[in-house]
A and B are shown apart, each in its own frame.
Chain A
Amino acid sequence: MESITPTKKQRTSGPEKQDPNIDKTEAVSPWKEAYWQLRKNKLAIIGIIIITFFILVAIFAPLLTSYSPTEVGAGERLTSPNADHWFGTDDLGRDTFTRIVFGARISLIVGFFAVSGALVFGTFLGILAGYFGKWVDMFISRIFDIMLAFPSILLAIAIVAILGPSLENALIAIAIINIPIFGRLVRSKVISIREEEYIMAAKAQGMKSGRILFHHVLPNSVAPIIVQATLSFGTAILEAAALGFLGLGASAPTPEWGKMLSDSRQFIQSAPWTVLFPGFSIMLVVLGFNMIGDGLRDALDPKMKT
């Protein structure tokens, strides 16, 4: 981690001071500048460490434990944390640590695909609405309005109620409810870029709509999309856990964190560890993404600073 941890000198230096390694006569790209900003943000660095940790845990899950996440009777029922079972066992004698470790895979995968889906469709619709305007914009924006008229988890419940409860359908539902968030963001960005002079110049040179979109409009919308995607990653994981908790996501015996919470909530008094660890894992991952997202926002888009 040493390479990205800022040195004391850099940490105290103001934003106008540049990295001494960079030749000052060279034009600084906004991405490089954002990278310096991010390096100085302690919370963002902590977030990156947390998320890297969970990604590694998810990848190397089978190496970290000798049990299987669905192995009933890996230990005695509801044993408290000990040397064999670091996080104790649940009511079926399954090793909680193993289930948490494998649960990291599920949460990260669900988060990744849900956000990717929302990002692709949202960006596509946002560009259509923003670039073509008129009735296209009217139509798409009204659909976004309607979707945003529901509290998001409620819309997800409605979608899962239609499709039937399963982890895949929960993922689809989470992707759908996040589409308007990306859609609106991209739309507003496209509208503001559309009026820029360089777009006018491109048009005057006879550049086709599609090329203008991909060469000029899209690259200029990337920064806010990245920020939103990072923040949405955390929200998506929370939403998946909530659906799992309500019995609308993963089904038994999948080691999904939300499902683990609802399964063991009745044992909270006799075996608090069965509830403590899954919930803490959810919180930590979401916190990590929020920290990175906040840091990225401050670095990439100073106007959005909170």
Chain B
Amino acid sequence: MLAYTIRRILMLIPVLIGMSIVTFAIIHFIPGNPARVILGDQATATAIANLEAQLGLDQPPYIQYFHYVFDLLKGDLGTSLRTNTPIAAEIWPRLAATIELTVFAMIFAIVVGVNAGIISAWKQNSIFDYTAMIIALIGVSMPIFWLGLMQQWIFAQELGWLPAFGRGNPRDPVETTTHLYVIDTIINGRFDQLWTSIKHLVLPGIALGTIPMAIIARMTRSSMLEILRSDYIRTIEAKGSRTLSVIYRHGFKNAVIPVLTVAGLQTGSLLGGAILTETIFSWPGVGRYVYEAIGTRDYPVIQSGILVIAFMFVIINLIVDLLYSYIDPRIKY
């Protein structure tokens, strides 16, 4: 197990190097003169020269790359062109916002998806099964930005049940320590704010969680169906109990591996989907940070934002891989 963990972490090194090359390319491989592209056609020669010096574009590419990697290792993510502040300082509160949203979306996806999948398998070919699977099929095909817009329209604007934008009441800001509002409000003992924060999480969280929920439901169903046909479940049935609780206790434990794989993979696509969801719901996370940077051609922010999200994705995949062998002792590496 330890050997595998070490090997798995070592395998990350080429991936991380490759990732840094891709994000490096975002500024440095812009065709033509990157500084001119970033500043636009009206830029003066001095402005272009200044920006070239700031971004290190006046040096040969391999030197630029080494500078880039050394800066990253020091925790320096560059400086935003728009606000002139270090990106590392700007990105943390946003990263926390994205993490909070992603976790909420994933909890929604797993709780609803797994249960819908189990019940569908248990009541195979019932009305519930058909309905759940049709919803899942539609969920997989749904553009999340459209789902988000529809939810906003129906639940926030027409029905007025839930807030449509942001993370909380701007006139009553949360006192932040971790920047995870759900945790901060509990630390501060402000349960009214906690309730507001949770209400703000619902719509973007469900929008973001719908696709993974659908995929998890389908995966759980198919992997449960296989388990339900196995001998030991038949034995339990022969003994006279085929209740839902038995299915949960004995069946799901063995169906969990493929479900976990899918859940892990989906967390990654969730991070990608966060860009769209955060844009729609004005959620102040990394995704929206990148989106705004695209609009203002703030390339260092685009670069670092993408790097940070991709890095999170890699770490999540690592954790999922390591969890396998913990959950299923039969898996040996």
Interface membership of B275, Cβ < 8 A: yes
Q: Does A268 contact B (CB under 8 A)?
A: yes
Contact with A along B135-161 (1 / 0, CB 8 A): 001101111011001101100010000
Tell me whether B31 is interfacial, beta carbon within 8 Å. Answer: yes
Q: Is A149 an interface residue (CB 8 A)?
A: yes
**Closest A residue by C-beta to B25:** A162
Give 14 A-B pairs besides A154-B310, A162-B31, A269-B157 with Cβ atoms closer than 8 angstroms: A150-B310, A151-B273, A152-B269, A153-B272, A154-B306, A157-B290, A161-B26, A161-B294, A161-B302, A245-B276, A258-B143, A261-B146, A262-B145, A275-B149
- Residue among B15, B138, B149, B275 with the highest chain A CB neighbour number at 10 A: B149
Task: Answer whether residue A57 sits at the interface, using C-beta atoms and an 8 A cutoff.
Answer: no
Is B18 a contact of A242 with CB atoms below 8 Å? no
Pair B222/A305 contact, Cβ less than 8 Å: yes
List the 8 closest pairs (A to B, CB-CB), nearest first: A151-B272, A146-B18, A279-B146, A287-B141, A153-B272, A286-B141, A306-B222, A150-B310
Assign chain B's interface to a size class. 35 or more
Q: Would A153 and B138 be within 8 Å (CB), given that A275-B149, A305-B222, A306-B219 are in contact?
A: no
Which residues of chain B are near A143, meaning CB under 8 Å? 18
Contact of A150 among B22, B37, B218 (CB under 8 A): B22
**CB pair A287 B18 closer than 8 Å:** no
For the side of the interface on A, what is the size category?
35 or more
The verdict on A101 contacting chain B, using a C-beta distance below 8 Å, is no
The 8 A CB mask of B290-333 against A (1 = contact, 0 = none) is 11001100010010001001100110010000000000000000
A282 sits at the interface (CB 8 A)? yes
Indicate whether B19 reaches chain A with its CB closer than 8 angstroms.
yes
A56 within 8 A of B: no
Interface residues of B in 141-191 (CB under 8 A from A): 141-143, 145-146, 149-150, 152-153, 157
Which residues of the other chain, B, contact A153 by a CB distance below 8 angstroms?
A: 269, 272-273, 275-276
Residues of A within 8 A of B270 (CB): 151
Report the bound CA distance from A276 to B149 in whole Å. 9
Cβ A246 vs Cβ B291 within 8 A: yes
Interface, chain A (partner B; CB < 8 A): 43, 142-143, 145-146, 149-155, 157-158, 161-164, 234, 238, 241-242, 245-248, 258, 261-262, 265, 268-269, 272, 275-276, 278-280, 282-283, 286-287, 290-291, 294, 305-306
B120: chain A residues at CB < 8 Å are none
B137 close to A290 (CB less than 8 A): yes
Query: Across the interface, do B153 and A268 meet the contact criterion of CB distance under 8 Å?
Result: yes
Task: Given A158-B306, A241-B143, A268-B157, verify A149-B15 contact (CB < 8 Å).
Answer: yes
Cβ contact of A157, chosen from B15, B294, B317, cutoff 8 A? B294
- Do B146 and A164 touch (CB < 8 A)? no
B149 A261 Cβ-Cβ under 8 A? yes
CB contact under 8 A between A142 and B149, given known A241-B143, A290-B140: no
- Give the interface SS of chain A, mostly helix, strand, loop or mixed: helix
Q: Given A150-B22, A265-B149, A290-B140 in contact, is the A157-B14 Cβ separation under 8 Å?
A: no
Contacts of B279 in A (CB 8 A): 245-246
Q: Which residues of B contact A272 (CB under 8 A)?
A: 153
- Whole-angstrom distance between the alpha carbons of A245 and B295 in the complex? 12
**Cβ-defined contact, A157 with B153, below 8 A:** no
Q: Are A155 and B219 in contact (CB under 8 A)?
A: no
Q: Are B306 and A142 in contact (CB under 8 A)?
A: no
A-B pairs with beta carbons under 8 Å apart, 13 shown: A146-B15, A150-B22, A153-B273, A154-B275, A154-B310, A157-B275, A234-B141, A241-B143, A245-B279, A246-B275, A246-B291, A247-B295, A258-B143
- For residue B150, which residues in chain A have a CB less than 8 angstroms away from its CB? 275-276, 279
Q: Which listed residue, A145, A149, A275, touches B153 by the CB 8 Å rule?
A: A275
Find the B residue at minimum CB distance from A145.
Answer: B15
B271 is an interface residue with CB less than 8 A from chain A: yes
Neighbour of A269 across the interface among B153, B219, B294, CB < 8 A: B153
Please pick, from B149, B271, B313, the residue contacting A279 in the complex, using a CB distance under 8 A.
B149
The answer to whether A149 and B149 have CB atoms under 8 Å apart is no
Q: Which residues of the other chain, A, contact B302 by a CB distance below 8 angstroms?
A: 157-158, 161
Q: Is B205 interfacial (CB-CB < 8 Å)?
A: no
Closest A residue to B287 using CB positions: A154
Expressed in whole angstroms, the Cα–Cα distance for A154 and B63 within the complex equals 26
Nearest Cβ in chain B — how far from A178, in angstroms?
A: 14
Q: Does B29 contact A (CB under 8 A)?
A: yes
User: At the interface, yes or no: B111 with Cβ under 8 Å from chain A?
Assistant: no
With contacts A154-B271, A154-B306 known, is A248 near B22, CB below 8 A?
no
Chain A proximity mask over B23-47: 1 for CB below 8 Å, otherwise 0: 1011001110000010000000000
Most buried by A among B140, B146, B157: B146
Q: Which of B143, B268, B310 contacts A283 (CB 8 A)?
A: B143
Chain A min CB distance to B281 (Å)? 12
Contact A306 B218 (CB under 8 A): yes
Interchain CB contact under 8 A, A151 and B290: no
B272 touches A245 (CB 8 A): no
The chain A residue sitting closest to B12, CB to CB, is A149
Question: Which residue from chain B places its CB closest to the CB of A237 in the assembled complex?
Answer: B143
Q: Are A155 and B18 in contact (CB under 8 A)?
A: no
For A165, the closest partner residue in chain B by CB is B294
Max chain B Cβ within 10 angstroms of own Cβ: one of A153, A161, A248, A269: A161
Tell me whether A162 and B26 are in contact (CB under 8 A): yes
Q: Does B153 lie within 8 Å of A287, measured CB to CB?
A: no
Q: Could you tell me if B19 and A150 are in contact, using CB atoms closer than 8 angstroms?
A: yes
Interchain CB contact under 8 A, A261 and B145: yes
Q: Which residue of B lies closest to A288 (CB)?
A: B141
**Pair B152/A268 contact, Cβ less than 8 Å:** yes
